Amino acid sequence: MATESARGANNYTERYAETPLQKAALIFGIVFLLVGILGFIPGVTTNIDTMMFAGHESEALLLGIFQVSIFHNLVHLLFGILGVWLAARWSWSRWYLIIGGVIYLVLWLYGLIVDEASAANFVPFNDADDWLHLILGIAMILLGVLLSRRMPTRTAEGSVS
């Protein structure tokens, strides 16, 4: 008992997706999972019969806008699984959002530089993907930085502050 009282209000035991930072990572993870799944559903993804494993030849369009391939959908699923898993810890959530945001900014730049009709567009990306990657990258980095400005602590009553 003395150990418990010695820890006092600074004792913080993480609970799954408890803090705003962890919730943000969880939400991004769930959204990426949904996007990955929806990329394989006919009707939600148009021209699904033209979907390739990878490459710019895939004419499949998620929501009729975003060019997808099997590889692209699998990456979304993997990124979603990571987000859901990493939401278990505050520090993991922070790195998921910040590093994930940087990855999306790199993908945005890659999409701007690479010719959409070239073999280098292996994921594939179109203009809608590029601008969504920019928005995702900025949002993830901002959330990762702003929501982690101070590490949470648990009060004596058990709530997080």
Domain membership of residue 31 (yes or no) is yes
Closest C-alpha among 113, 124, 139, 42 to residue 75: 124
Domain membership of residue 93 (yes or no) is yes
The boundaries of the domain holding residue 76 are: 18-146
Domain membership of residue 123 (yes or no) is yes
Per-residue tokens: 18: 């408890």
- pLDDT recorded at residue 152: 65
Domain membership of residue 59 (yes or no) is yes
Q: What is the mean pLDDT of each run of 10 residues along the chain (161 residues)?
A: 41 74 97 97 96 90 95 96 96 97 96 88 89 97 93 58 53
Domain membership of residue 10 (yes or no) is no
Domain count, the chain: 1
Domain membership of residue 142 (yes or no) is yes
Domain membership of residue 159 (yes or no) is no
Residue for token digits 């292996």?
122
Strand partners, 121: none
How far apart, in whole angstroms, are the C-alpha atoms of residue 149 and residue 152?
A: 9
Q: What does the DSSP assignment read for 7-75?
A: HGGG-----TT-SHHHHHHHHHHHHHHHHHHHTTSBTTEETGGG--SSSTT---EETTTEE--HHHHHH
Domain membership of residue 138 (yes or no) is yes
